[in-house]
């Protein structure tokens, strides 16, 4: 089976995830995030519950995401690594910050449903 049909599905799912994060839609994110998911930020690593709590509480508000590049390599039929080059505007600790990142999103397919297993931010040194 070709993974080509899943590329657009995952790109759309990732865009929807960014929208849910900016709108603090914790219930939608809860169903997307794998139970054992990990989230790697510049200053901390969170579990699924910790990430949802950060979004729910507003400690990090993902205000706006400008997606500049996307690629989706696959490992077999059940694992995809979505790479986003983005410019993220977020409010962290009450301060609005803008950073360029490559965000690595690892998706695993369980029972024909894609789940986000890992989300990692790598800050780029170029503006």
When pLDDT is averaged across residues 1-14 and rounded to a whole number, the result is: 86
**CATH code of the domain occupying 4-123:** 3.10.450.50
* Helix %, strand %, coil % of the chain (to 5): 30, 50, 20
> What ranges do the domains of the chain cover?
4-123
Angle at 65 between CA 67 and CA 41, to 5 degrees: 100
pLDDT value, residue 5: 82
Residue 2 reports pLDDT greater than 70: no
Query: What percent of the chain stands above pLDDT 90?
Result: 87
| Residues forming beta bridges with residue 122, ordered by sequence position | 102
């Amino acid at each position: 089976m070709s993974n080509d049909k899943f590329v657009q599905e995952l790109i759309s799912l990732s865009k929807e995830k960014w929208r849910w994060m900016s709108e603090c839609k914790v219930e939608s994110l809860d169903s997307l995030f794998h139970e054992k998911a990990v989230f790697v930020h510049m200053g901390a690593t969170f579990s699924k519950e910790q990430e949802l709590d950060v979004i729910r509480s507003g400690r990090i508000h993902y205000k706006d995401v400008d997606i500049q590049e996307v690629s989706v390599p696959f490992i077999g039929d059940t694992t995809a690594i979505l790479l986003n080059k983005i410019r993220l505007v977020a409010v962290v600790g009450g301060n609005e910050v803008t950073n360029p990142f490559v965000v690595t999103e690892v998706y695993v397919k369980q029972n024909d449903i894609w789940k986000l297993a890992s989300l990692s931010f790598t800050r780029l040194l170029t503006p």
